[in-house]
Structure 1
Amino acid sequence: MAIKAIGFIEGCLPEDLEKVLVSVASEWGDVVDDMNALQVIPLKGAMTNEVYQLNWPTRNGDHLRKVLVRIYGEGVDVFFNRDDEIRTFECMSKHGQGPRLLGRFPDGRVEEFIHARTLSSADLRDPEISAIIAAKLREFHNLDMPGARNIVLWDRVRNWLSVAKTLCSIKDKKEFGLDTLAEEISLLEKELSGDYQDIGFCHNDLQYGNIMMDEETRSITIIDYEYSSYNPVAYDLANHFCEMVANYHSEKPHFLDYRKYPGLEERQRFVRIYLSSAGYKPTDAEVEQFVDKVEQYTLANHLFWGLWGIISGYVNKIEFDYIEYARQRFQQYWLRKPALLGS
């Protein structure tokens, strides 16, 4: 079987996936009776799951049918509730915001293949594309999603800290200062939660690989909602800005080049478009205030993904230097904290 040959879906039953694929194909009037005839294309850049494009010829053979198969990463259930993520995925589909869920099997799922290109790291810095992302993100935040509109960020970071402390070696625990990190989290929560905050349904992982663009219509689709939850929208913008320093398709995908962090004018432009996209015209003072709040939330984002990196280094088998990634996020936290919060 072609799928087995490349080692994909290790740890789950191949026949479960076969049944889903046969069912999906039959609904489309196709016949997939030879699994060896499937074309399997690994898609790079995913760091939580393994993702593949599967192709097969239609019944009359005039073109290829395409689906996306997502294999859940090992140990990642510590980061999010998979059932909640599936509910979010299905709700997004109903809102017309993402791909349709075509089928599920124990260790993964089959999704509609979106005929659009995944953005590159450089695309995030393109003013035209960035403006489209800003407007789309505001639309995303305004979606009416199930669940209480409660901030998830702080409880999640505290939970991840607890998990990291149980997994870590003594050396890593000391290097990352995990025994004192609870105080930092409490300090951040106190400093950042004082003012009125706009709470929306946030993606929380808006890196370029989770954004797709239809080249003809120039429309944006935001995908992959594993980490999505209600949070301050300023945090989601902070996350997006932080992702501009990464290139997960480079020779060193874990390396973060903070020389590429967007400058003040670029951040102001993004924020102004974000606030204006709903028909409201913000004042310069409002833009400046929101930019400052977003910048403070980058500190929470460094701790969030720093802890994610530590845990992933112990539980995830995907080829990525998670610990070095975490080290860079924590270094940036301590470097930027004095300027953003004062001593």
Structure 2
Amino acid sequence: MGAVKIWDAFEVVKESPNKSMAPIHSSSLAVDPSLPLSLATPRVIELCKDLFEKWSKLDDSCFSVDTVSGGITNLLLKVAVKEEDGNYVPVTVRLFGPNTDYINRERELQAIKYLSTAGFGASLLGVFGNGMVQSFINARTLTPLDMRTPKLAAEIAKQLRKFHEVEVPISREPLLWIDLVKFFEKASVLQFNDSEKQRVYETISFKEVHKEILEIKELTGHFNAPVVFAHNDLLSGNIMVNEKEDKLYFIDFEYACYNYRGFDIGNHFNEYAGFDCDISLYPNKNEQYNFFRHYLQPDNPLEVSEKDLEALYVETSTFMLASHLLWSLWGLIQAQTSPIDFDYLGYFFLRYNEYKRLKEEGFSLAKSYLSRSGTNQSF
């Protein structure tokens, strides 16, 4: 998707980037995310000067550029600018990863406006050829181990409940099946230049994968699962905390869209395992119930009934399986396209094998619950 099309959703004008409720700025420039920081820095400085007129005449020495994080899709940079009055203004420059054209950037930017108004994430200050500039959040990124801390887990649950209540004027069709079909179609026709990768890739039975997708879609269809505005990628790297201010932040809304509540929560639980897929870190039932209590009744978590806890537990456990299928296929696509040094092919097998390991128990749990809850389904 071209940058100009993305900007169509915004009023693009030139004003100071640090004003409250600043308008959205634009630039046609782009910065290669694969460049080392030493080479990327002058390009980022040029970009900032082009975006923000107030900074256009500043000497390059007034800018400092540092890496905030290098995920497995995007690159975050912190740019600190010494303005003419001597004050430092920090902003975050997010460079989109290459070959991520499957992400609807126009939808993402539309969502950011409404999420920002609701108090989520950083303010959007500008857009450019392959990224965006946002206000800097003074907080640290969580680790997978942080997320299972009872206090933080409770706060994440409360924030996720508020997130799910945000209204965004976009299609309410759940994203899960759209993305699963899209990822499957892309992943099943790949060709690798690396002969060893191609050999490993050819061991995958896409007929089997397609069968699994159909089965999990049919099973989850028996749940009356609420459709909410979901984050869809709530891993530790997309949650930040400022301990001094006791404030939690969700960031990175490129997958945010309407989706099943159970998927968003189950997907979050899967992310307890981190990119290494350490399955021992997946939250146990007591940890999940603690999360559910604060999600269902943020003000009175101890008043949540056992019936409601069980219902959300089964719903989440079932959609969690779909999360494994989705991100395993995503890993295959990245294995063929991404220049980032990460074993995406291995990631496919970690996630897909975890799905297969949990499938029997998960399907049995879901079918038993549905039979007991009067859905009149015969399994």
Q: What TM-score bracket applies, with the shorter chain setting the length?
A: 0.7 to 0.9
How far apart are the structure 2 equivalents of 1:128 and 1:282? 18
Query: Who is 2:232 aligned against?
Result: 204
Q: Is the 8 A contact 1:121 1:244 kept in 2?
A: yes
Does residue 164 in structure 1 map to residue 192 in structure 2?
no
How far apart are the structure 1 equivalents of 2:223 and 2:116? 34
Matches within 5 A, 1:109-128: 109-128=132-151
AA at the equivalent of 1:6: L
Query: Who is 1:307 aligned against?
Result: 329
Secondary structure of 2:307's counterpart equals helix
Question: Displacement of 1:46 after TM fit?
Answer: 1.7
Does residue 75 in structure 1 map to residue 99 in structure 2?
yes
Does residue 177 in structure 1 map to residue 205 in structure 2?
yes
How far apart are the structure 2 equivalents of 1:158 and 1:46? 25
Q: Is the 8 A contact 2:78 2:92 kept in 1?
A: yes
How far apart are the structure 1 equivalents of 2:73 and 2:337? 11
Question: Displacement of 1:168 after TM fit?
Answer: 4.3
| RMSD of equivalent CA atoms | 2.5
More relative contact order, 1 or 2 (CA 8 Å, 6+ apart) = 1
AA at the equivalent of 1:309: G
Note closer, same or farther for the CA distance 1:51–1:115 as it changes in structure 2 (3 Å cut).
Answer: same
Query: Who is 1:337 aligned against?
Result: 359
Note closer, same or farther for the CA distance 1:25–1:315 as it changes in structure 2 (3 Å cut).
Answer: same
AA at the equivalent of 2:75: E
AA at the equivalent of 1:65: V
Q: Is the 8 A contact 1:55 1:67 kept in 2?
A: yes
Query: Who is 2:37 aligned against?
Result: 6
- Per-residue deviation, residues 275-295 of structure 1 (Å, max 9, x unmatched): 112768431021012111111
Query: Who is 1:265 aligned against?
Result: 286
- Per-residue deviation, residues 210-252 of structure 1 (Å, max 9, x unmatched): 1122323322221101111111111111011110111xxxxxx
Q: Is the 8 A contact 1:75 1:315 kept in 2?
A: yes
Pick one of 136, 147, 150 that aligns with 2:159.
136
Q: Is the 8 A contact 1:235 1:298 kept in 2?
A: yes
Secondary structure of 1:166's counterpart equals coil
Question: Displacement of 1:51 after TM fit?
Answer: 1.3
Question: Displacement of 1:55 after TM fit?
Answer: 1.4
Q: Is the 8 A contact 1:45 1:209 kept in 2?
A: no
Secondary structure of 1:160's counterpart equals helix
| Comparing 271-280 and 94-103, the one that deviates more | 271-280
Where does the alignment leave 5 or more consecutive residues of structure 1 unmatched? Answer: 247-253
Note closer, same or farther for the CA distance 1:8–1:322 as it changes in structure 2 (3 Å cut).
Answer: farther
Query: Who is 2:376 aligned against?
Result: none
What's the % identity of the aligned pairs?
Answer: 29
Does residue 243 in structure 1 map to residue 267 in structure 2?
no
TM-score of the superposed pair, with normalisation by structure 2: 0.80
Query: Who is 2:260 aligned against?
Result: 232
Q: Is the 8 A contact 2:265 2:316 kept in 1?
A: yes
Query: Who is 2:298 aligned against?
Result: 277
Question: Displacement of 1:174 after TM fit?
Answer: 3.5
AA at the equivalent of 1:315: T
How far apart are the structure 2 equivalents of 1:51 and 1:121? 19
Question: Displacement of 1:36 after TM fit?
Answer: 5.1
Secondary structure of 1:54's counterpart equals strand
Q: Is the 8 A contact 1:165 1:173 kept in 2?
A: no
How far apart are the structure 1 equivalents of 2:97 and 2:47? 21
Larger radius of gyration: 2
Secondary structure of 1:212's counterpart equals strand
